[in-house]
Amino acid sequence: MSDDKDERRRSKAVPTSRVGRLARVARLAGGVAGGMLAEGARQVRAGNRPRRRDLLLTPANARRVTRQLSEMRGAAMKLGQILSMDTGDLLPRELADILASLRSDATSMPEEQLDAAMTQAYGSDWQSAFRMFDPYPIAAASIGQVHRAVAHDGRELALKVQYPGVGESIDSDVDNIAAVLRISGLLPGEVDIQPLLDDAKVQLQDEANYLKEARFLARFNEVLGEDERFVLPELVEELTHRNVLAMTYVAGGPIDAIARRAQKERDRVMTALVDLMLTELFELRMVQTDPNFANYQYRWSSGDIVLLDFGATREFRARFVSNYRKLAAAAVAGDRDAMAVAAEKVGYSIGDEDSRYRELVLELLLLALEPLRHDEPYDFAASTMPARLGELGQQATRFADFWHAPPTDVVYFHRKLGGMFMLAARMGACVNAHALMQEWL
C-alpha cells in the first residue's frame, strides 16, 4: 500500500500546451533570478563581495533548475541531459552536475493523462486490448514512461507510453531552455551551440516517434538475434502506435551491480559492450547513443546482457564512419599529421598549422582515444583520463576556435564513448579495446 501512495505522490501532470510550458520556463528564469538576489543580499550582509557565478550556482538554484526540467519532461529534460553529457567542457562544472542529475528517473504522469495517452493509441475501450495492464509505471524518463501488461496470448509486455504534448513541444522547449541558459548567464556568451540545438531538435523528434524506434528495435534484433551474449525485447507490432511502443518484457538487474562479481566476469561483460559499440558504428552505422546505465541490465543466473531502449539510436553517414575510422587509425598509430587531416574531414575546427590550438585539439583526441592506443587491458577505474581531458579542455577555452560548435556526429558518438568509459570505470573493468579495434582498422 505504501508503494502505491509513494507512486501517487511522485505523479505530476505534464504541462501540455505551449503557453503552459513557456510559463514553466519563465517561472524557472524568475526563480533563478530571485534566488540570486536573495543569496546576494545574504552575502553582502555577511560582508562578502560575491561573484555573479557564485550567486547563480547555489544549491537552491540547482534544485530549482533540476525540479522544473524534471517536471516538464520532454525536450526540456532531454536537452538538460544532452548538454550535461556533450558540452560539459563548455559549461561551468556546477551546471553540468545539475543537468547530470536529470539522467535519473523523472516524475510520472497522473492516471488522467495516462488514460488520455492510451485512448489516443487504442481507443476509449483501450483496457480491452490487454488481458492485464498495470497502471503504475516501472520506469519514467524524459519522453515517456513504461508499464507492465499481459497480451491476450499470454505474452508479458512492456509498454512505453509517451507523455502527452511532448512531440509537439520539442522545438519551442529547446529554444526556450537555451534562451534561459543564455540570458541567465548559465551558458558562456562565447559558446555557439546553435548547430547542436538544431540537431537536438531532429534527434528528439526521432525519439518521440515510437514507430521509428520500433524499426530500430527490429533491426537490432535482426543483427544480434544469434549473439548469445545479449538479450533484447522483441517488437509487438500489432500493439505499437506512434505514441505507445509495445515490446516483450525482459527482466534483468542493474548492470553496474556486477562490480561485486569476479574481475573476469566484469571484464567479459564490458568487453562485450565495447565490442557492440564498435559494431554499431563500423558495421551497422547505427548507434544507440544514450549513455544512461539503465539501458543495460544483467542476468545473474546466466550472465546475459539485456539491452533496452533504442529511442536515442542515431544513423551515421558512410562518409563520417569512414573518416572517423581514419582518425582512430591515425590515433592508434600516433600519426599526428594524418589525425589532423582526418579530424578536419570529420568536421573539427583544428586551427592553423603549427599553432598551439591545433596541438591541443590533437592532444585532446589522442587522450579521448587512449584506450584504443595500447595493446593491453585498459584499467578504466584506475584511469586519470577524465581529469586530464578537463585540464586540456580548460586550456583550449582560451582560443576562439574552441567555441565553434563541435561536429554533431562526433558529439553523439562521443556521448556513447563517454558513457561506456563511465560504465567501465563504475564496474572496475579492464578491456583490451586496442585488440577489439583491430578488426575494424
423: cell is 560504465
CA distances from 84 to 81, 94, 199, 309, 402 (A): 5, 10, 16, 20, 18
Cα distances (angstroms) measured from residue 403 to each of 52, 149, 345: 22, 48, 18
What strands lie across the sheet with 296-298, from one edge to the other?
A: 230-231, 305-307, 296-298, 253-254
Residue type, 118: M
Distances in Å between the alpha carbon of 141 and those of 77, 108, 190, 199, 367?
9, 8, 31, 21, 32
Indicate left, alpha or beta for 17 from its phi (over 0: left) and psi (-120 to 50: alpha).
Answer: beta
Q: How far is CA 386 from the centre of its chain?
A: 18
Q: Which residues are designated catalytic?
A: 290
CA distance 129 to 152: 8
In degrees, rounded to 5, the angle at the alpha carbon of residue 288 between the alpha carbons of residues 83 and 345 is 70
Residues pairing with 431 in the sheet: 378
How far is CA 234 from its chain centroid? 23
Phi, psi (deg, nearest 5) at residue 227: -85, 110
What's the CA gap between 336 and 277, in Å, rounded? 25
